Amino acid sequence: MKFIISSSALLKQLQAISGVLSTNSSLPILEDFLFDVSEGQLTVLASDLDNTMITHIAVEAQESGKIAIPAKMLLESLKSFPDQPLTFNINDENFGIEIASGYGKYKLAGHDPEDFPRLPEIADGNEFKIDASILYSGINKTIFATGNDDLRPVMSGVFMQVGSEHMTMVATDSHRLVRYRRTDITAEVDASFILPKKPLNLLKSLLGYADSSVTVKFNSKNASFDFDQFNLICRLIEGRYPNYEAVIPKENPFKLTMNRQDLISSLRRVAIFSSRSTNQVKLNIQGSELQLTAEDLDFSNSAAERLTCQYEGEDMEIAFNSKFITEMLSNMDSESVNLNMSAPNRAGILLPEASVKDKDEDLLMLVMPVMLNN
């Protein structure tokens, strides 16, 4: 088999899918790219068994064939070439590979393509379409809140729910929760699945540059995301996601409204002086004044700042983990935010300012308070 391809085009596509490769796999074939040439198109697969990424590139080829090529050596050699056509000559009998460039010839040993894992089939699955920018935004605004507890694997992923009225993405680690909902994305059948962190990060790295819609197909075991020249197939997390709606308090009569960036900056300054074990920052709200305080009694460190705010409700003192609340605020887009509360020992609800938010987007972030150490 022989084909000709642009070195820079090949490198760009291989780097885009190389994130799926596993460096410490027990199967050596998983350290390879699978090249499949057919009808003037090269299809490249990379896999770690749980996740498979596929990309398509145009090539000059008279014949069809497959070969597994060591990924690390191929990527390193492609990085060393300026943009030029490369000719790949593949020996189908011993899987030897010869690459010819304008500088010379290079030989490396390939592997039997039949050893490469088979693609999982998504039979009898559901399907819906979503704009790439919306999916990117949904992943960005939820993935940071996923958990890392091996004993509760369902909480280590993002829960995705689609139906006739909206699409919802949820992440929680039991200390905080994010619910991202879109009313402009719907599906014919109500269904849900839990996406692991690795494929979410792989999608995030590609969706930022995509400007098309993503076709999502899924069944009880696997999900597939198809867009531009890429396709990602991943194994889903099995299990029942917790009832997230039950933990969102419905009555939150006290409402604090503030400039988001001012609040983030103040939290970051004050948090430097907080206890390393709790990262506790106390919010004392009286009228139109918010006082932020933090202290570390072990090292006699403390800080306090006063900010002007809009507040509706009784005076309140409540404390949060500064890392959690800062990260949540940083993953919002609006200029102002609302913090809705009901009591010092009940969850606070962060919402983008209603006047500026996207009419199709409904973003809610919940953060649990930490016990006040008076």
Q: In terms of Cα–Cα distance, which of 296, 337, 345 is closest to 316?
A: 345
322 pLDDT tier (thresholds 50, 70, 90):
very high
264-310 pLDDT tens trace: 999 999 999 999 999 999 999 999 999 999 999 889 999 999 999 99
155 pLDDT tier (thresholds 50, 70, 90):
very high
Q: What is the DSSP letter of 242?
A: P
Identify the pLDDT of residue 315: 95
Q: Compute the mean pLDDT over every residue in the chain, rounded to the nearest whole number.
A: 94
Domains annotated for the chain, with CATH where assigned, are 2-115 (3.10.150.10), 126-246 (3.10.150.10), 249-367 (3.10.150.10)
Indicate if the pLDDT at residue 356 is higher than 70.
no
If you average pLDDT over residues 85-92, what whole number do you get? 96
Q: Give the whole-number percent of the chain exceeding pLDDT 70.
A: 99
Q: What are phi and psi of 227, to 5 degrees?
A: -160, 150
Identify the pLDDT of residue 357: 59
Cβ atoms 171, 146 nearer than 8 A: yes
Instruction: Give 169's strand partners.
Output: 160, 180
Q: What are phi and psi of 72, to 5 degrees?
A: -60, -45
Indicate if the pLDDT at residue 150 is higher than 80.
yes
Contacts with 211 (C-beta within 8 Å, 6 or more apart), sequence order: 132, 133
Cβ atoms 296, 150 nearer than 8 A: no
Identify the pLDDT of residue 209: 86
Q: What are phi and psi of 294, to 5 degrees?
A: -145, 150
Q: In terms of Cα–Cα distance, which of 3, 221, 254 is closest to 125?
A: 221
If you average pLDDT over residues 327-349, what whole number do you get? 95
Indicate if the pLDDT at residue 174 is higher than 90.
yes
Indicate if the pLDDT at residue 374 is higher than 60.
no
Q: Quickly list DSSP for 20-73.
A: G--TT-SSGGGGEEEEEEETTEEEEEEE-SSEEEEEEEE-EESS-EEEEEEHHH
What token pair was written down for 136? 């990117």
Indicate if the pLDDT at residue 188 is higher than 90.
no
Single-letter code of the amino acid located at 238: E
Q: In terms of Cα–Cα distance, which of 128, 192, 194, 185 is closest to 158?
A: 194
Contacts with 84 (C-beta within 8 Å, 6 or more apart), sequence order: 6, 7, 101, 102
Q: Rounded CA gap, 312 and 332, in Å? A: 22
Identify the pLDDT of residue 354: 72
Identify the pLDDT of residue 25: 77
Single-letter code of the amino acid located at 274: S
Instruction: Give 94's strand partners.
Output: none
Q: Rounded CA gap, 250 and 299, in Å? A: 40
If you average pLDDT over residues 81-92, what whole number do you get? 96
Q: List the alpha helices (DSSP H) in the chain.
A: 7-17, 71-79, 132-140, 197-207, 260-271, 322-330
- The alpha carbon dihedral of 122, 128, 130, 135 has a sign of negative
Q: In terms of Cα–Cα distance, which of 127, 135, 189 is closest to 163?
A: 189
Q: Rounded CA gap, 261 and 367, in Å? A: 18
What does each C-alpha distance from 317 to 61, 341, 374 come to in angstroms?
A: 71, 11, 11
Identify the pLDDT of residue 28: 92
189-219 pLDDT tens trace: 899 999 999 999 999 999 988 888 999 999 9
CB count in 10 Å sphere of residue 323: 15
List the single range of 119-123, 329-333, 351-355 with lowest mean pLDDT: 351-355
Angle (CA) 163-167-168 rounded to 5° is: 120
What token pair was written down for 132? 């790439």
90-140 pLDDT tens trace: 999 999 999 999 999 999 999 999 999 999 888 888 999 999 999 999 999
Identify the pLDDT of residue 373: 60
Indicate if the pLDDT at residue 179 is higher than 60.
yes
Cβ atoms 176, 368 nearer than 8 A: yes
